[in-house]
Amino acid sequence: MSIIIETSQLSKWFGEVVALNNINMTIEKGVTGLLGPNGAGKSTFIKLALGLYRPSRGTIKVMGGPPRNNLHVLRNIGYCPETDKFYDNMTGYEFVYYLSRSWGMSSMTARKVTEEVCEWVQMSERMHDPIDQYSKGMRQRIKIAQSLVGRPDLLFLDEPMAGLDPKGREEMFSLIRRLGDEGLSVMLSSHILYEIERVTDQVALLYKGALLAHGRIREIRDLIDQHPHTIRVNSSDPRSLSKCFLDDPGVRNISFEPGKLVLHTQDPNACYQKLNTFYLNKDKLVDGIECADDNLQAVFEYLTK
């Protein structure tokens, strides 16, 4: 079965608050990013897929069946929540071991599985240390370890990069890619586009409970390529720098912010090339470059106009 999640008119509301509205989506095997700002409905979608919520309207099927109260489906799903719920005086090994036992595993099987999943997430050397001595990245990895004890076919990761430092993020990117390479289907939620781009090119964009777009990142980002891109340039002399772009046919508009030149261009690649040349020439006109449209929020703003 190549389809792991399928929804039809899926909706969920809490009183007068609509969390998800009429979601029609098919997700195939592999790693998929569930993208959206806070409050977009990402966690609600995951909890519906986990069977924790009942749809207010419509249907959701996970691996061919409805997930709610369906042990056949739920036994093939792993879940790593965003928030931590640890007994800090426990070791990582004990945390994973006792959750393995709660699955109904024998003591011997639980010990074997705990060691295996800790090795998977590269926590073998620290698994016997108390959790209160773990970094944020280690806590995230031990949470993922517990979600793998049942050998799931589908893994949900809710904001797995939240609060991680750059080193922890790189380790998490590597772990998720490795899980995908080993044949596990993964759905991870995030509100930061570049995080998802590091692990997959397949995304679903949610905004205010609605599905804005679903498919490959490049296809979705192409939606805003028809419109001027915004480039902010840090400069000690933005007005002098602006003169270099006055006759540029690709630049639609020029404006200024404190210490910055703001370019609106139909040809961002040409602008970047010119700006990079200025920087390499060390003429001190260019101190830094920021592509304001190279993020998820820009895609949302375009799609919701």
Question: pTM of the full predicted structure?
Answer: 0.76
| Residue 249: C-alpha distances to residues 99, 246, 262, 270, 279 (Å) | 62, 8, 16, 10, 21
pLDDT for position 225:
62
pLDDT for position 297:
57
Domain boundary among 191, 222, 253: 222
Task: Give me the CATH number covering residue 140.
Answer: 3.40.50.300
- Contact between 176 and 188 under an 8 Å Cβ cutoff? The reply is yes
Structure tokens at 263: 């370019």
Crossing angle for the helix pair 166-181 and 136-147, to the nearest 10 degrees: 20
If asked whether residues 9 and 110 sit together in one domain, one would say yes
Q: Name beta bridge partners: 291.
A: 231
If asked whether residues 121 and 237 sit together in one domain, one would say no
If asked whether residues 144 and 229 sit together in one domain, one would say no
Number of domains in the chain: 2
Task: Give me the CATH number covering residue 256.
Answer: 3.30.70
If asked whether residues 76 and 114 sit together in one domain, one would say yes
Domain boundary among 187, 222, 257: 222
- Contact between 154 and 76 under an 8 Å Cβ cutoff? The reply is yes
If asked whether residues 83 and 169 sit together in one domain, one would say yes
Query: Using the 8-state DSSP alphabet, how is residue 130 labeled?
Result: B
**What's phi and psi for 84, nearest 5 deg?**
-90, 140
If asked whether residues 216 and 230 sit together in one domain, one would say no
If asked whether residues 255 and 209 sit together in one domain, one would say no
Domain boundary among 222, 247, 267: 222
Phi-psi region of 102 (alpha: psi -120 to 50; beta: other; left: phi over 0): alpha
Q: Provide CB contacts within 8 A for 244, sequence distance 6+.
A: 274, 278, 285
User: Which residue range forms the structural domain that includes residue 269?
Assistant: 225-303
Find tokens 């998490």 and name the residue. 172
pLDDT for position 295:
54
Q: What is the mean pLDDT of each run of 10 residues along the chain (305 residues)?
A: 91 94 94 89 95 96 94 93 85 95 93 94 93 91 92 92 81 89 91 81 90 83 70 88 88 91 85 83 76 60 65
pLDDT for position 144:
92
If asked whether residues 210 and 250 sit together in one domain, one would say no
If asked whether residues 143 and 79 sit together in one domain, one would say yes
The closest alpha carbon to 299, from 189, 216, 188, 176, belongs to: 216
If asked whether residues 127 and 81 sit together in one domain, one would say yes
| Residue 52: C-alpha distances to residues 43, 100, 116, 150 (Å) | 11, 20, 28, 18
Rounded CA separation 284/270 (Å): 20
If asked whether residues 99 and 178 sit together in one domain, one would say yes
If asked whether residues 11 and 59 sit together in one domain, one would say yes
pLDDT for position 165:
78
